[in-house]
């Protein structure tokens, strides 16, 4: 079963309650009404919009008979507030030795899970007894097995939030707490960056909603929409609660909304630098713990001594800022300056072993640090660079 869900920009975790320089007050909550909005990749299927998409067909077979055709089946339909929706991620607790195969439809299937990307239902066949989803739903053989979720929504001047949960899973005050803390994160990180952003709509969802081909469910769309996968009961228990799984992810994805505002200042491949900023700002603000920032990256590489061997974009970006942190220079003032660059840059931030990238990072970080020498920081990264800040500027044509 998929238990760990790295965000669009790094690992999970966080420090709920630490709201940086934005205080820890709880804004007033206002409940929303009407049909709950859905994450961008999902739709309601009660209006005929899903008719053109075929159901996903999946068979589970016993050991030694992987190509069986089960005699019994059930149709699994995901629901939000009693309305059918498209797509779902379905964890399986199959018997030992069971094999699972995708028969037809757009998605993937394995012995531990099924992902239906856009399908309105899953036709699931098995002659073996098993439970479905992280909430141990018993199949209704020969009929429809609903996979229900309920929503709770809040609105505010800064953030609208939509929170979904399975009815059997008691999340306590998590929905209201996430909404309140999200507002504090927005206020704090806007203040540090000195950059505003669009009003935010945040979707806080369980693993079962993560049915996209990329799998993680943590996204920033650059238009005020962010989606956060808070996980599933085993993962949440291991991490210490929903706030612990969701808030750092929200802080990261919201940072992408802020960097979207300064994207014109960075031509070329901005993705690695973008991911690094999206962890560095929440870290400096107190919303993301150090172990999620570095030095061990998403692929298990320790980048404390070098950035040269990295290839995963989040790891490359975090490595740049991790070495600034090692030098004691990763302050809120430093991050604010990153959001107000003094030049228009054009470099590939994921090509950390090139001279142009090294020179660009040298100039950007030197100016963000108020002119403090960053040569030792670049040496610590072990990426190529000019012999001085002035030489790097000249090489870049600044």
Which three-class secondary structure string do you get for the chain? CCCCCCECCECCCCCCCCCHHHCCCCCCCEECCCCCCCCCCCCECCCCCCCCCCCEEEEEECCCCCCCCCCCEEEEEEEECCEEECCEEEEEECCCCCEEEEEECCEEECCCEEEECCCCCEEEEECCCCEECCCCECCCCCCEEEEEEEEEEEECCCEEEEEEECCCCCCCCHHHHHHHHHHHHHHHHHHHHCCCCCCEEEEEEEHHHCCCCCCCCCEECCCCEEEEEEECHHHHHHHCCHHHHHHHHHHHHHHHHHHHHHHHHEECCCHHHHHHHHHHHHHHHCCCCHHHHCCECCCCCECCCCCCCCCCHHHHHHHHHHHHHHCCCCCHHHHHHHCCCCCCEECCCCCCCCHHHHHHHHHHHHHHCCCCCCHHHHHHHCCCCCCCHHHHHHHHCC
373 lies in some domain: yes
119 lies in some domain: yes
- Residue 201 shares a structural domain with residue 121: no
pLDDT tens for each residue of 360-388: 999 999 999 999 999 999 999 999 999 99
Domain boundary among 126, 148, 170: 148
Instruction: Indicate whether 255 pLDDT > 70.
Output: yes
47 lies in some domain: no
Q: 129 lies in which domain range?
A: 56-148
Percent of the chain with pLDDT over 70: 91
- Residue 96 shares a structural domain with residue 179: no
Looking at residue 215, its pLDDT comes to: 62
Looking at residue 292, its pLDDT comes to: 93
42 lies in some domain: no
Instruction: Indicate whether 330 pLDDT > 60.
Output: yes
Looking at residue 349, its pLDDT comes to: 98
Instruction: Indicate whether 54 pLDDT > 70.
Output: yes
- Residue 263 shares a structural domain with residue 290: yes
Q: What is the mean pLDDT of residues 138-164?
A: 97
Q: What is the mean pLDDT of residues 383-396?
A: 98
Comparing 260 with 211, the larger pLDDT belongs to: 260
pLDDT tens for each residue of 107-143: 999 999 999 998 999 999 999 998 999 999 999 999 9
| pTM (2 d.p.) | 0.90
- Residue 215 shares a structural domain with residue 333: yes
43 lies in some domain: no
Looking at residue 33, its pLDDT comes to: 54
Looking at residue 4, its pLDDT comes to: 28
Band (pLDDT 50/70/90 cuts) for residue 29 is very low
- Residue 226 shares a structural domain with residue 314: yes
pLDDT tens for each residue of 74-95: 999 999 999 999 989 999 988 8
Instruction: Indicate whether 328 pLDDT > 80.
Output: yes
46 lies in some domain: no
Looking at residue 365, its pLDDT comes to: 98
Instruction: Indicate whether 1 pLDDT > 50.
Output: no
Looking at residue 168, its pLDDT comes to: 97
Q: What is the mean pLDDT of residues 240-248?
A: 97
Q: What is the mean pLDDT of residues 317-335?
A: 98
- Residue 144 shares a structural domain with residue 163: no
Q: What is the mean pLDDT of residues 338-349?
A: 98
Looking at residue 35, its pLDDT comes to: 87
- Residue 111 shares a structural domain with residue 181: no
Looking at residue 8, its pLDDT comes to: 41
Instruction: Indicate whether 200 pLDDT > 50.
Output: yes
50 lies in some domain: no
Band (pLDDT 50/70/90 cuts) for residue 25 is very low
Q: How many domains does the chain have?
A: 2
Average pLDDT for the chain: 90
Q: What is the mean pLDDT of residues 213-225?
A: 86
11 lies in some domain: no
């Amino acid at each position: 079963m998929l238990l760990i869900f790295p965000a669009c920009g790094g690992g999970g975790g966080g420090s709920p309650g630490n709201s940086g320089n934005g205080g820890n007050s709880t804004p007033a909550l206002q409940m929303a009404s009407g049909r709950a909005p859905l994450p961008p990749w999902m739709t309601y299927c009660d209006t005929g919009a899903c008719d053109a998409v075929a159901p996903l067909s999946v068979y589970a077979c016993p050991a030694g008979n992987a190509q069986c055709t089960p005699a019994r089946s059930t149709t699994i339909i995901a629901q939000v507030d009693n309305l059918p929706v498209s797509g779902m991620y379905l964890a399986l607790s199959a018997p030992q030795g069971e094999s699972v195969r995708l028969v037809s439809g757009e998605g993937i299937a394995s012995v531990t899970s099924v992902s239906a990307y856009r399908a309105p239902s899953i036709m699931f066949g098995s002659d073996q007894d098993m439970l479905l989803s992280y909430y141990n739903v018993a199949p209704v053989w020969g009929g429809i097995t609903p996979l229900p979720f309920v929503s709770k929504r809040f609105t505010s001047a800064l953030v609208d939030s939509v929170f979904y949960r399975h009815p059997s899973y008691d999340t306590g005050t998590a929905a209201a707490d996430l909404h309140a803390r999200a507002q504090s994160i927005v206020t704090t990180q806007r203040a540090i960056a000195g950059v505003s952003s669009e009003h935010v709509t945040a979707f806080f969802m369980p693993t079962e909603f993560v049915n996209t081909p990329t799998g993680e469910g943590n996204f920033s769309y650059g238009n005020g929409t962010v989606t956060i996968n808070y996980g599933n009961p085993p993962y949440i228990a291991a991490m210490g609660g929903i706030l612990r799984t969701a808030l750092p992810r929200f802080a990261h994805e919201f940072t992408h909304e802020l960097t979207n505002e300064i994207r014109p200042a960075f031509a070329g491949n901005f993705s690695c630098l973008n991911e690094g900023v999206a962890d560095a700002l929440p870290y400096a603000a107190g919303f993301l713990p150090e172990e999620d920032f570095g030095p061990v990256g998403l692929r298990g590489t320790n980048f404390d001594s070098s950035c040269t061997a990295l290839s995963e974009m989040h790891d490359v970006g975090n490595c740049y800022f991790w070495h600034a942190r090692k030098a004691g220079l990763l302050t809120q003032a430093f991050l604010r300056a990153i959001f107000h660059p003094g030049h228009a840059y054009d470099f590939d931030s994921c090509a950390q072993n090139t001279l142009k990238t090294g020179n660009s990072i040298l100039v950007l970080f030197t100016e963000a640090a108020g002119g403090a020498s960053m040569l030792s920081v670049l040496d610590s990264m072990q990426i190529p660079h000019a012999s001085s800040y002035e030489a790097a500027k000249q090489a870049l044509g600044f």
